[in-house]
């Protein structure tokens, strides 16, 4: 099957969403926890979180165009300056998926989807208690993407909670911590490690 630009543009909205959201392959599945200045907690699933640098320790994610129904996560981050990123695990993947529904601002997805709020080291934003791999971030910058109205949200990691058994030879083993990946809008994958290779140096490239 071959889609050129014309045929992509002519796809119906839902089909285009499913295809374009899947073409990058499996992406990390995470829940972002926030709280509004009025004290309403929010939890939303994201598959767009990316590493932006290690010094300082920066992560970014894409926030969709804001409407009255959509955009509580970004508004809360801008109000309070902090948020959490929590890995999804198989045992609560279905609950995590339904945080994507358009709940009103005064309804917490923690309650609606039966996930638990957890507060660590006086960090203001709520963590997901059920997640064993989670981070607290401080908001640093929001960059508008003018082509489609989305926003790149950048934060610096201030807290990291990782299970000890997920450290293997100095690396993080996402299979061991039972990380979950997402493809498209609603398909979830478990992660299986297929190999670990040394740092690539020109004089050490094998004869394939």
| Residue 126 or 16, more confident | 126
**Model confidence at 168, in pLDDT bands (50, 70, 90)?**
confident
| Residues paired with 118 in a beta bridge | 127
Tokens of 8: 């992509």
Residue-wise pLDDT tens digits, 184-195: 889 999 999 898
Residue-wise pLDDT tens digits, 86-139: 999 999 999 999 999 999 989 999 999 999 999 999 999 999 999 999 999 999
- In this prediction, residues 137-149 reach a mean pLDDT of 96
Which residues, 6+ apart, have CB-to-CB distance to 24 below 8 Å?
none
Is 1 inside a domain boundary? no
Percent of residues, the chain, with pLDDT higher than 70: 99
Residue 69 has a pLDDT of 67
For residues 135 and 124, give the distance between their C-alpha atoms in angstroms, rounded to a whole number: 12
pLDDT of residue 150 exceeding 80, the answer is yes
Is 147 inside a domain boundary? yes
User: Residue 192 region, left (φ>0) first, then alpha (ψ -120 to 50), else beta?
Assistant: beta
Nearest to 74 by CA among 161, 159, 149, 160: 149
| Residues paired with 161 in a beta bridge | 134
Is 14 inside a domain boundary? no
Give me the number of domains the chain comprises. Answer: 1
Question: What dihedral do alpha carbons 49, 4, 11, 23 form, nearest 10°?
Answer: -20
Is 31 inside a domain boundary? yes
Domain residue limits at 74: 26-193
pLDDT of residue 68 exceeding 80, the answer is no
- In this prediction, residues 155-171 reach a mean pLDDT of 90
Establish how many alpha carbons lie within 13 A of residue 104's alpha carbon, considering only the half-sphere containing its beta carbon. 2
Is 208 inside a domain boundary? no
Residue 24 has a pLDDT of 87
Give the CATH number for residue 52. 2.30.110.10
Is 15 inside a domain boundary? no
């Amino acid at each position: 099957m071959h889609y050129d630009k014309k045929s992509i543009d002519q796809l119906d909205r839902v089909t285009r969403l499913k295809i374009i959201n899947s073409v990058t392959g499996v992406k990390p599945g995470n829940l972002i926890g926030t709280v509004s200045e009025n004290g309403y907690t929010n939890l939303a699933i994201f598959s767009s979180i990316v590493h932006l640098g290690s010094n300082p320790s920066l992560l970014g994610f894409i926030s969709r165009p804001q409407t009255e129904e959509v955009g509580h996560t970004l508004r809360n981050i801008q109000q309070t300056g902090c948020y959490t990123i929590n890995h999804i695990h198989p045992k609560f993947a279905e609950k995590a998926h339904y945080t994507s529904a358009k709940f009103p601002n005064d309804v917490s997805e923690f309650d609606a989807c039966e996930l638990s709020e957890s507060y660590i080291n006086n960090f203001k934003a709520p963590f997901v208690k059920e997640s064993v791999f989670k981070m607290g971030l401080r908001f640093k910058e929001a960059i508008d993407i003018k082509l489609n109205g989305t926003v790149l949200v950048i934060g610096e990691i201030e807290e990291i909670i990782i299970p000890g058994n997920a450290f293997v030879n100095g690396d993080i083993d996402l299979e061991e911590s039972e990380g979950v990946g997402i493809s498209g809008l609603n398909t979830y994958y478990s992660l299986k490690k297929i190999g670990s290779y040394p740092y690539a140096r020109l004089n050490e490239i094998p004869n394939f």
